[in-house]
Amino acid sequence: MNWVGLAGFGLVILSAILMAGLVFLRRKSTPAFREIPAFARLRKAIGLAVEEGSRLHISLGRGGLTTPQSAAELAGLEMLRRLSELTAASDRPPVATSGDGAVTILSQDTLLSSGQAALSTGYGATAARLTGLTPFSYAAGALPVMHDENPSANVLMGNFGVEVALLTDAAERGNTSTLAGSDNLPAQAILYASVQDPLIGEELYAAGTYLKARPFHSASLTVQDILRWLIVIGILVGALLKLAGVL
């Protein structure tokens, strides 16, 4: 193993130890995190959906589980589970769209296991849908869902590219509230221009904590903060050593 691989493995092990330790230490207390406006708006939208009996549309993007973007898809699936649980009292279950076969199967499984199926008579296997396999065919397939199903809010969380602009535009035309985040940089720039409160950077992965904090979710955010500080220190020390001519 070369030193880069060793450092990577060390970082993973350190993160795992930190996460397990923080979960053990903070079993009974929940740490406070900064307010993210997008999640506050989403909580309002969920309440409105339950009161109105309308449905939510959760778009998981076109990333797959076997690609480097799988973490964004996993974050989207976690969000789908939370939203499905929170809207369990609503007359209409959420509808989930994705652009990958495996993610569609998992989103179907998530909707089924989150209790929505038992509580709602409206649930069918078609609540989770594969809308297209290429970026633009995915967006083209998701647009009719946003139009025909009359969702009260659209949650776009996962791996999107520039095609996300078509979805946010459709949401705006439908006068629905939108929460959107992607792991893709061009998509984040587009979301900044087209959505009221976009999720930028790692905020995409914090959804679990902000909607319903569990020890592991809170711990993972704290671990991110610790690692970020370590990286900042590393960059500063590296820059100083470079200036001093040591590196």
Query: What interhelical angle do 101-113 and 70-86 show, nearest 10?
Result: 30
* Nearest distance from C-beta of residue 59 to other proteins, angstroms: 15
Q: What is the C-alpha to C-alpha distance for residues 239 and 244, in angstroms, rounded to an integer? A: 9
Tokens of 66: 């076997």
* Residue 167, Cβ density class (10 Å: 0-12 exposed, 13-18 middle, ≥19 buried): buried
Q: What is the C-alpha to C-alpha distance for residues 217 and 19, in angstroms, rounded to an integer? A: 9
* Nearest distance from C-beta of residue 222 to other proteins, angstroms: 9
* Nearest distance from C-beta of residue 48 to other proteins, angstroms: 20
Q: Cβ closer to other proteins: 185 or 237?
A: 185
Q: Cβ closer to other proteins: 235 or 247?
A: 235
* Nearest distance from C-beta of residue 244 to other proteins, angstroms: 22
Q: Cβ closer to other proteins: 47 or 124?
A: 124
Q: Cβ closer to other proteins: 54 or 220?
A: 220
